[in-house]
Amino acid sequence: MAGTLILSEAALALFRLHVERQGQIPVDDATREPYHELARHGLMMAGSTFRDGEESIYCLTELGFRRKAKLLGPQRPTTRPVGKILPPHRLQ
């Protein structure tokens, strides 16, 4: 199917974390390859800093921003019910 984007689990998890933390993710051995994958798909773009050198920061591209909602999907609830829901008591 044309236009279908297939990302590894690591790249998708990093994309979510990057959006959640507004880009405050260090580029290191654990994140470098997922960031490269996101850049290959045009969702992110590498940048450089004087202090940390080439490809030391990543930001969303216009395409990444447009596809953000679709890639993040529906928000999952963070809590779940603890016990049974009981019917209200009747007063007599």
Question: Rounded to an integer, what is the distance from CA 65 to the centroid of its chain?
Answer: 11
The pLDDT score that the predictor gives to residue 91 is 47
Residue range(s) defining the domain that contains residue 63: 9-71
pLDDT tens, 15-37? 999 999 888 888 999 999 999 99
Please state the φ and ψ torsions of residue 24, each to the nearest 5 degrees: -85, 60
Q: Does the residue 66 lie in any domain?
A: yes
Instruction: Give this prediction's pTM.
Output: 0.72
Rounded mean pLDDT, 58-63: 92
- CB count within 10 Å of CB 46 equals 15
Report the C-alpha gap between 50 and 54 in whole angstroms.
8
Q: Does the residue 82 lie in any domain?
A: no
| Angle formed at CA 35 by CA 59 and CA 69, multiple of 5 degrees | 60
- The number of distinct structural domains making up the chain is 1
